[in-house]
Chain A
């Protein structure tokens, strides 16, 4: 077993997923404590230039793991190629960004190596020579320290936004091209082109103020409360997933892992509990105000101002106060 942390980076159609750099930052942090090396592997086809981009970080080596079968993503091809690669490299730790693609193949890869995968880790602990990861449970209400039951390779996915990609240390690493192992069995999955649905009519990423509603809004007609508040602030209305699933707001106004990622000056969360999938889409906001009747709502953990109370009373009062404040400017 090599004392090495392997980062599995991600690309799609000629572009790196920026979360790859967050995972490199996580690996570098672990390496500082353990003294282990960091290497990166990028699966795909024709990805040498992207591998060079990864090689501008302080890592030991970057592998471009290439095969025609890896050109368009399928879980079968990725599992087959990475399994052979990890077995050959004997890496002690394997880290992935917790992207939708990784969620699709990494559990299978871990089981194929007779290991378990700790998913969506937000941090790590290195104690007594063993690596543990912290992760959120029960929709963010609790944090858990989780240990691996078995031997290395220890495999984990890193939550989007848990480490800062722009703080990954710079360096210069050699790039090595590796021909990926390909299964000779017929393909079971045929992928088609990635596409976007309707043209967007609103770009929430450009909004300076966002008023977001969650389940706590209870009924569609109550959206007017949020709309009024957004109107006095000159902001946009957005929502967590369940609201858009109900059809109360269009999908393009959904904030979170499956929707938009935003970083406005002001984010007001009304009746949003703060499940991880929502938080990853808005934790970059400069000022976060949350209104929730549950004093233990996870959203309060990242809020600058936590108003514990009934949004149906607080929001109209808040709208009036803001009107007054704006009028007196």
Chain B
């Protein structure tokens, strides 16, 4: 199976984020990591390759710093990487990101494309679905089980509130992967060494610009949300904080 995994670099989960001066995006000086659901998509791609043979390519769209997530993918076992490298990819909406990816892999004919179900930054949960539309192939979302069959794929989808569904579909296909579908591997020392020798293809803005749409969603303003409730903030040593919480629960909320 020829598999592509789409990976995004996002701010680290615990990283304190600050707004830029224009209030339209975050400041870039934070720590970055692989978007967690994408890490599960990569793991699933590697497992499918180990079972059925073939190759795994990893792609990302982002500034120079985003190369790190590709290096990690190569170290874990991906065979090659594609980097859509430009600062402008960082704030791009899902539709144009999907268009850029489709342009970068034109003529590649992957059997299977996997990506995380959503990103920790935008959280739009759209890129994979849109990529399928652009490529003209079927897709399925929030996948927690993949089995290759003679006819194509047998998949387990997660639905809301503890419900599931099996579906079958033809290949080529695009799947968005739910966190927890598998157990993530760590990169080995040998893997990290070998990664340096693996091919990394750079794709410039100019190469895909013609495929992008001018109709993009625009973030007019980004701001810290106001509290939705009258929140009582307690910043005190543990013992004192505990007393204040119990006081509140007993006398005001009457919850205990």
Chain A residues packing against B (C-beta within 8 Å): 75-76, 99-101, 103-105, 107-108, 110-112, 114-120, 132, 136-150, 188-197, 200, 209, 215, 233, 241-242, 244-245, 251-252, 257-261, 265-266, 273, 276, 286-289, 294-296, 298, 300-310, 313-314, 316-318, 320-322, 324-326
Contact = CB atoms under 8 A, between A and B. Distances in A.
Interface stretch (B42-50, B70-78, B136-144, B201-209): B136-144
Given A116-B215, A266-B249, A261 B139 contact: no
B219 interface: yes
Given A149-B217, A294-B14, A100 B158 contact: yes
B7 to A, nearest CB: 18
Interface in B115-138: 120-126, 129-130, 132-134, 138
Contacts, number: 257
Q: How large is the interface on B (under 10, 10 to 19, 20 to 34, 35 or more residues)?
A: 35 or more
16 contacts: A100-B160, A103-B129, A137-B122, A144-B221, A149-B214, A190-B167, A191-B165, A191-B167, A192-B167, A195-B165, A209-B255, A286-B255, A302-B227, A305-B234, A309-B234, A313-B238
B219 A119 contact: no
A119 B241 contact: no
A259 B163 CA distance: 9
B164 to A, nearest CB: 6
Nearest to A324: B246
B11 interface: yes
B188 interface: no
Contact of A100 (B19, B124, B142): B142
Given A75-B140, A258-B160, 15 more contacts: A100-B160, A103-B125, A107-B125, A137-B123, A139-B123, A193-B165, A194-B163, A215-B13, A301-B226, A302-B228, A305-B234, A307-B241, A314-B242, A317-B239, A318-B245
B14 A305 contact: no
B218 A107 contact: no
A324 B243 CA distance: 10
A101 B165 CA distance: 12
Nearest first, the 6 A-B pairs at minimum CB distance are A245-B180, A150-B215, A317-B242, A313-B238, A188-B138, A107-B126
Contacts of A188: 138, 169-170
